């Protein structure tokens, strides 16, 4: 397998890594021993991680793990008192050097920039916490955030947690209906929003959308409005207050609300295939601990590093970025806007200017940037950048190699990351001390007892099966908000005491892993099961194709047939000759039985804000079926175009 490695860590890479330091601290010989001990002795590993990350408890816990209520509902850090904001902000103030380190750095699409030191962040969080308390808000109250990715979103997130309230992050691009359903479900009492945000040179209104959502929700008593874009807004007397006016007179010191380690910290809504969105519940000792572990062991973020993940706070990678970076004493770098505006060089210019050390992207974004050619991605000083990271969907080989070879000059490894909102991060992840295989994962995250199971629930290697987890981990969701049975049905119903994640995966004999795709996306053509990523990789291997999505549709002869939707490179024409060539390409790579029945050319594919292609929505639109939850889509107009093709 050594011949498949495209990047091998140097001794210096290994020596500086968190993983090497953690293993040396605990006398572990290698990653195999770490993985084994972390999954067979979960209590030891959790204690060790909490100590390594210097998570400060206001009262120590008496027991790290209690599974008397079943592995589906474990209790962590039993008896402990923990408000995570102390470890994110307050503990860094004890030393002048760390207090004056940049905690948050921001750049907007319009070129504006701002930064906050840990000291300044602490002051603003305290003012915001006092402002919330002045409105009568406190422990246990649900408070939603509907803001662009600006510094104030970090302040609001931490202030809500500091007073013991429950964070409800919302996608800034949501429509009124999506906002309303989440506010109602979570019982939200207050909402942060903004006048607007910049997108591709235009101002996108946010306050007016929030107003529409709140029209029939009297339970939301307070709306705090950030003046960011400068566009005119309407204010409702008695309910709405401007951020600047509300915070200006607040004291700069605020008491940290005592919270139990297992008190709710956040409800993050995820989109389901059917039904209403699922509210994943996370706690003070859950989500932040897991994300900081993954950020340390996977992307090797150290104090003083500068990490950016292109995301929105409504996707779990937003809170992941904030909590992980601040717990590790790093700088959380935010970009708000389109990463290819005003041109395709914007992202790389941003990375160079801010001297990013880690940059998180999605495969879909890389595919889109690659379509503009090599020139926009070269000529930028990325010497500070040590790691790329990627999540959201499986890679196609050609875009992966473009990022690694053209942008990273074969110097910067790509850390593949896959898990989910309910996981608080990763099930599988690469790391900086293992040689890199394109598009693969070097292993399961420490503490995650991941396996691949066949249809009978037996562990398999070298074959595609269901990705499952056999032991609890501290970051697992504490269930779905007010929907216990749906949580059990979603993850625990297939096999006793086994979490089934809904991904098809493969673990090779050499230990490398692959995610093939969502198990509900798998296409069965005349008994031959294939993940859509394999078909899509064949299609985007043609220079004419920028992006592709493959879905299965009913077929009288084969059970299912493959239908493909392709976005073409600028200047390429979607004609019958190209259709034939693409079908032949798939047949040559995957076999003639898996040749697409039809290929359609579209201007765009339905995607979430994190650029995940929504195949289930493509399939439903094409077949004229119920679309299910579409609130996470950033480009709903793409769905209408697909419905016209059937």
Within a domain: residue 557?
yes
Phi, psi of 520 (to 5 degrees): -80, 0
Confidence (pLDDT) at 558: 76
Within a domain: residue 571?
yes
In the chain, the number of structural domains is: 1
User: Of the segments 169-173, 472-476, 588-592, which one has the largest average pLDDT value?
Assistant: 472-476
How far from 64 is each of 50, 110, 492, 533, CA to CA, in Å? 10, 47, 23, 40
Within a domain: residue 618?
yes
Instruction: Quote the percentage of the chain above a pLDDT of 70.
Output: 97
The helix/strand/coil state of 193 is strand
Which range marks the domain in which residue 583 is found?
526-643
A 10 A CB-CB count for 237 gives 5
A 10 A CB-CB count for 113 gives 10
Q: Provide the H-helix boundaries in 254-407.
A: 287-297, 317-327, 346-353, 363-370, 397-401
The two three-digit tokens of residue 578, written as one number:
């190209």
The two three-digit tokens of residue 418, written as one number:
């896959």
Judging by beta carbons within 10 Å of its beta carbon (0-12, 13-18, 19+), is residue 254 exposed, middle or buried? buried
- C-alpha span between 272 and 282 (Å, rounded): 18
Contacts of 249 (CB under 8 A, 6+ apart): none
Within a domain: residue 32?
no
Within a domain: residue 631?
yes
179-182's contacts with Cβ under 8 Å and 24+ in sequence apart are 179/144, 179/146, 179/209, 179/210, 179/213, 180/213, 180/214, 180/216, 180/217, 181/276, 181/277, 181/631, 182/144, 182/269, 182/277, 182/279
Pairing assessment for the beta strands 358-361 and 387-390 based on DSSP bridges: parallel
pLDDT tens profile 500-530: 999 889 999 888 999 987 776 778 776 566 7
- C-alpha span between 424 and 287 (Å, rounded): 5
Confidence (pLDDT) at 1: 38
CA torsion angle 311 313 314 318 (round to 10): 60
pTM, two decimal places: 0.87
Closest CA to 356 of 102, 633, 62, 82: 102
The two three-digit tokens of residue 216, written as one number:
């029939």
pLDDT of residue 213 exceeding 50, the answer is yes
Tell me if 625 sits within 8 A of 264, measured CB to CB: no
Q: Could you tell me the CATH number of the domain that includes residue 608?
A: 3.30.300.30
How far from 162 is each of 16, 130, 251, 284, 440, CA to CA, in Å? 33, 10, 15, 11, 39
Confidence (pLDDT) at 626: 85
The two three-digit tokens of residue 568, written as one number:
């073409």
pLDDT of residue 77 exceeding 80, the answer is yes
| Rounded average pLDDT over 377-401 | 93
pLDDT tens profile 28-38: 999 999 999 99
Within a domain: residue 477?
no
A 10 A CB-CB count for 57 gives 18
pLDDT tens profile 451-491: 999 999 999 999 989 999 999 999 999 999 999 999 999 99
Within a domain: residue 586?
yes
Within a domain: residue 564?
yes
Tell me if 164 sits within 8 A of 257, measured CB to CB: yes
Contacts of 265 (CB under 8 A, 6+ apart): 84, 161, 166, 167, 282, 283, 284, 286, 287, 288
Answer left, alpha or beta for residue 121, where phi above 0 means left and psi between -120 and 50 means alpha. Answer: alpha
């Amino acid at each position: 397998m050594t011949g498949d490695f495209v990047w091998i860590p140097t001794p210096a890479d290994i020596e500086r890594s968190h993983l090497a330091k953690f293993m040396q601290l605990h006398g572990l010989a290698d990653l195999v021993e770490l993985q084994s001990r972390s999954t067979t002795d979960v209590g030891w590993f959790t204690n060790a991680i909490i100590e390594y990350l210097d998570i400060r408890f206001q009262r120590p816990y008496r027991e790290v793990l209690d599974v008397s209520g079943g592995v589906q509902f474990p209790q962590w850090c039993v008896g402990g008192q923990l408000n995570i904001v102390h470890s994110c902000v307050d503990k860094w103030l004890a030393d002048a050097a760390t207090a004056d380190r940049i905690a948050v750095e921001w750049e907007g699409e319009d070129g504006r920039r701002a930064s906050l030191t840990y000291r300044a962040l602490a002051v603003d969080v305290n003012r915001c916490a006092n402002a919330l308390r002045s409105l009568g808000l406190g422990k246990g109250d649900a408070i939603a955030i509907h803001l662009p990715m600006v510094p104030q979103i970090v302040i609001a997130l931490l202030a809500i947690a500091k007073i013991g309230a429950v964070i409800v992050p919302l996608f800034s691009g949501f429509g009124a209906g999506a906002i309303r359903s989440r506010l109602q479900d979570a019982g939200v009492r207050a909402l942060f929003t903004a006048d607007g945000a910049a997108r591709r040179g235009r101002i996108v209104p946010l306050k007016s959308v929030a107003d529409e959502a709140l029209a029939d929700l009297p339970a939301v008593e307070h709306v705090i409005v950030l003046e960011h874009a400068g566009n005119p807004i309407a204010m409702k007397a008695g309910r709405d207050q401007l951020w600047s006016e509300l915070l200006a007179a607040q004291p700069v010191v605020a008491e940290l609300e005592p919270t139990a380690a297992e008190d709710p910290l956040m409800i993050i809504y995820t989109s389901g295939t059917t039904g209403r969105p699922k509210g994943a519940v996370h706690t003070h000792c859950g989500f932040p601990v897991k994300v900081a572990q993954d950020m340390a062991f996977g992307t090797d973020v150290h104090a003083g590093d500068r990490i950016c993940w292109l995301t929105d706070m409504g996707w779990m990678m937003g809170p992941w970025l904030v909590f992980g970076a601040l717990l590790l004493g790093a700088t959380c770098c935010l970009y708000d806007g389109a990463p290819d505006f005003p041109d395709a060089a914007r992202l790389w210019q941003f990375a160079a200017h801010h001297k990013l050390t880690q940059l998180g992207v999605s495969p879909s974004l890389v595919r889109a940037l690659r379509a503009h050619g090599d020139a926009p991605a070269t000529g930028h000083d990325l010497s500070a950048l040590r790691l790329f990271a990627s999540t959201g969907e499986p890679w196609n080989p050609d875009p992966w190699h473009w990022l690694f070879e053209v942008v990273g000059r074969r110097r910067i490894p790509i850390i593949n990351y896959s898990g989910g909102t309910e996981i608080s991060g990763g099930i599988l992840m690469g790391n900086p001390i293992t040689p890199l295989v394109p598009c693969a994962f070097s292993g399961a995250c420490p503490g995650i007892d991941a396996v691949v199971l066949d249809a009978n629930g037996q562990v398999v290697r070298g074959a595609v099966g269901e990705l499952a987890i056999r032991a609890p981990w501290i970051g697992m969701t504490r269930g779905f908000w007010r929907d216990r049975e749906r949580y059990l049905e979603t993850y625990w119903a297939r096999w006793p005491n086994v979490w089934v994640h809904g991904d098809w995966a493969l673990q090779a004999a050499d230990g490398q892993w692959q995610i093939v795709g969502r198990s509900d996306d798998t296409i069965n053509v005349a008994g031959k099961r294939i993940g859509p990523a394999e078909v899509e990789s064949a299609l985007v291997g043609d220079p004419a194709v920028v992006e592709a999505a493959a879905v299965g549709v009913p077929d009288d002869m084969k059970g299912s047939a493959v239908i493909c939707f392709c976005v073409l490179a600028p200047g390429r024409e979607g004609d019958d000759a190209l259709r034939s060539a693409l079908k032949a390409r798939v047949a040559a790579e995957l076999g003639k039985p898996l040749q697409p029945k039809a290929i359609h050319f579209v201007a765009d594919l339905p995607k979430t804000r994190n650029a995940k292609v929504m195949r289930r929505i493509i399939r439903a639109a094409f077949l004229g079926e119920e679309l299910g939850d579409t609130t996470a889509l950033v480009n709903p107009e793409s769905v209408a175009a697909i419905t016209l093709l059937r």
